[in-house]
A and B are shown apart, each in its own frame.
Chain A
Amino acid sequence: MAISDRLGSDHAAVSSRIANVSRRQFLQGASGLALGLYLGPAFADESTGAAASVFEPNAFVRIGGDNVVTVVSKHLEMGQGTFTGLATLVAEELDADWAQVVVEAAPADAKRYANLLFGIQGTGGSTAMANSWEQMRKAGAAARAMLVAAAASEWKVPAAQIHVEHGIVSHAASKHQATFGQLAAKAAQQAVPTDVKLKDPKQFKLIGSVKTPRKDSAAKTNGSAMFTQDLRLPNMLVAVVAHPPRFGGTVKSVDMAKAKAIAGVVDIVQFAGKPGVFPAGVAVLAKNTWIAKQGRDALVIEWDDSQAFKLSSEEIFTQFRELAKKPGLPAHSSGDAAKALTASNKLIEAEYEFPYLAHGAMEPMNCAVQLSAGKCEIWHGEQLHTADQGAVAGFLGIPLENVTLNQLYAGGSFGRRANPKADFVLEAVAIAKAAGDKGIKAPIKMVWTREEDTRGGYYRPANLHTVRAALDASGKPIAWQQRIVGQSLIKGSPFESALIKNGIDATSVEGADNLPYAIPNLQVELHSPELAVPVQWWRSVGHTHTAFSTESMIDELATAAGKDPYQFRRELLAKHPRHRGVLEMAAVKSGWGTPLAAKAGVKRGRGIAVHESFNSFVAEVVEVSVQKDGTFKVDRVVCAVDCGVAINPDVIKAQMEGGIGYGLAATLYSEITLKDGVVQESNFDRYRPLRINEMPLIQVHIVPSAEKPTGVGEPGTPPIAPALVNALFAATGKRIRKLPIGTQLQA
């Protein structure tokens, strides 16, 4: 722990607290609070894991003489259950007892901890389980093989006769048995196997089980879980910032006198922004967050808006509407949609509108930085671990290896902590650098208030889609032409070469350019206007809008064809069994086709939607009750998900519940609106979260599958908006094409 040596013992205590969040949780669990009793022989003494007896067969598993199995998570835990999922994979092949397993966050290191689907270390795109499925099981299997080899050598018995179960290694004939901890030192001397045999899925005990509770539950229910907001380093100063009110604005002048007069304000630093990455601003430094905020509020700043973005939302949509009249770049073309549309006498056209959306994670963006002698140490919950590391190294002009990242729990993210340009991380570094230039060597923790978080940009881009589709005489769709207008969230980022091909940003059209329905003439076009409003991925990325336009339009076509919306979809999905599988399951489980219970004076309706995202398939049926005044309640959502092998069914259910609720908030209320370039929403009063009284009953069904596991963090979100407007249409005959729904039904 060279870092701890440098910063002193207080810091060592902090480090130990972070690294041992799960460890302490284990101990609490062992005391009978939550995780059940585990009374292994030598687990209780934290100091017994002497260096000599630590068995570390690879970068992901460590077993100490104390019998604790530490799984190192290369992925961020931001609520989606990765710590638990990755630990399950290791523990399964290791045949560990679930109670002896703890999870520790990995440092940023692209060599050891890359996401195998990204090539860099990163947590996003619902890929944590998909990319780790074999890697983490192999890590566990290798450790098991070495423990077995150690026991065979110790007991002088054939390895093939050794049995491992619940963390106990045993040999029946000789009646030998030992814990992992007892074998750790000897296992460390065994050769690391080059190839290991993984279990037949029939042998799985933990994968697919409900007996693998979350590893972060205890720490997150007693206040001890460490988030960036909670970090305190010796002498640390908190920085609260003032940002320009408009994107692209800069500081013309600052009067710091009033702020400096506040007792406890240590210093005030002005920092230059990095155009297109993070804004210029002024940061007030204090020991206490409240004092820093008081200081920030007392700053008198004249902003220079001469180069700033000054459009309003209506003007942006007017521009989008003009663009949608012209052909865009082709994202997909099969058959001849234009010709088929001209030939048809049953044409359906619609326009769908989507606002900018803020992520609104409960923990506002923040980042702690310590600069010293050509080195930089960072603490935060990062989704793009090594991209952030590279960005910081580049920004400071120091070698990559001089940038250390400590991964903490993230209080939600929904994509925001995966900024491809490392915006708020670099801002924190810029503040620390500006402070350092004034002789301040203390670590700096930058914290945004809710207002900076909401107004700070990097939104889900506003979008306008137009769809023109045609039915043949029998009511089958024969042509579909879709135009998508929305800013590229990839252009100008390090991912440009990977994700933009022939001018098409794959994340702008995903979910539309691979429309699964059997339509012979399909054309999808894209316009990517460039605006200075910063945009970024938001839980389920392009699918947030493409699922809505495609699943609304297919419903509109079913209506035009006079067919049942479920049967209409089902018939068109003959070649897509996994789409069809979840669709059928959601329909059956919801009682599709049976009448909804009548309520006096209330119109009721049911809507359905199915969508594939991140290689997972989700169908949702929504039931609504609409009052005479147009207000309505979402009563129930029935969800069917096919994500391949269900590693942890309870976490999958939780992600569906949460994904549906997150999407529901956006569908009902959320929009970031601009007036003369100024974001109008700033806090949860106008950017409303969903409340418990608005939460429907949610029932989740998982399709049994032997396919490789795919993501669950995002795929629950896309279908909820279209399923809801389809239900409202069924109830009222009114078709909502603009999000959020807001008061549109009350008009």
Chain B
Amino acid sequence: MIELNINGTPRKHEGDPTMPLLWFIRDELNLTGTKFGCGIAQCGACTVHLEGQPIRACVTPVAAAAGRKITTIEAVHEDKAGLAIQSAWRKLDVVQCGYCQSGQIMSATALLKSNHKPTDADIDAAMAGNACRCVTYVRIRAAIHEAAKTLAA
């Protein structure tokens, strides 16, 4: 049995320990904001935080998260940076289809937590693993700058 902490709630997994965390979160806990896009860590739609660091849940075995804190999109607003990112996303209407945006927001939040004033180059480096086929990148960049401004204020 594996014990995990998801969004502050203790959870237990009794099945296959090699199952990617993504499917535990989505199919066992029904927290479906975290998305499946590629299954091979190429698109970032499954990004969640493991102890505050962005990880690709589609290639992270449940066992690797044992005893550690996981945060998903459903709880990202509880963090100051997460709330700033979420609000900026809404203010600038970043989303189109929206399917990748949970992952984008998780990566952007992690960036802002470690770097309060990211440059365009910092954003490119932190966000290049999150693909958006609607190509909302112009607004993602602007929204991260916007959130940084809000946090600094």
Contacts and interface: CB of A to CB of B under 8 A. Distances in A.
Do A and B belong to a common assembly? yes
Interface stretch (A221-229, A309-317, A328-336, A369-377): A221-229
Nearest to B73: A223
B31 interface: yes
Interface string B87-107: 101110111111111100100
Main SS class of interface, A: loop
B138 A695 contact: yes
B9 interface: no
Interface in A636-673: 650-651, 654, 657-658, 660-662, 664-665
B124 interface: yes
A731 B19 CA distance: 51
A136 to B, nearest CB: 21
B101 to A, nearest CB: 5
B8 interface: no
A81 interface: yes
A225 B89 CA distance: 15
Interface string B125-142: 101101111111111110
Interface stretch (A201-209, A356-364, A475-483): A356-364
Contact of A214 (B16, B93, B132): B93
B40 interface: yes
A288 interface: yes
B73 A213 contact: no
A479 B51 CA distance: 67
Given A223-B102, A362-B45, A362-B100, A214 B133 contact: no
A516 to B, nearest CB: 27
Given A657-B136, A684-B43, A695-B135, A221 B97 contact: no
Contacts of B86: 33, 221-222
A690 B91 CA distance: 24
B97 A685 contact: no
Nearest to B85: A221
Contacts of B20: 290
A421 B133 CA distance: 24
B97 A78 contact: yes
Interface residues of B, number: 60
A486 interface: no
Nearest to B96: A79
A689 B99 CA distance: 15
B135 A223 contact: no
A232 B131 contact: no
B91 A34 contact: yes
A536 interface: no
B35 interface: yes
A657 B138 CA distance: 7
A693 interface: yes
Interface string A315-347: 000000000000000000000000000000000
Nearest to A80: B96
B8 to A, nearest CB: 15
Contacts of B99: 227, 361-363, 411-412
B109 to A, nearest CB: 11
A190 interface: no
Interface in A213-254: 213-214, 216-225, 227, 229-230, 232, 238
B38 A654 contact: no
B33 A224 contact: yes
A20 interface: no
A450 interface: yes
Closest 7 pairs (CB-CB, A-B): A223-B33, A661-B135, A411-B99, A220-B98, A79-B97, A79-B96, A230-B32
14 contacts: A217-B89, A221-B94, A223-B32, A230-B32, A290-B16, A290-B27, A361-B97, A364-B36, A413-B97, A447-B36, A450-B40, A658-B134, A684-B38, A692-B127
Given A232-B30, A657-B136, 11 more contacts: A34-B87, A219-B98, A222-B76, A223-B74, A230-B26, A289-B36, A364-B36, A662-B134, A683-B42, A689-B43, A691-B128
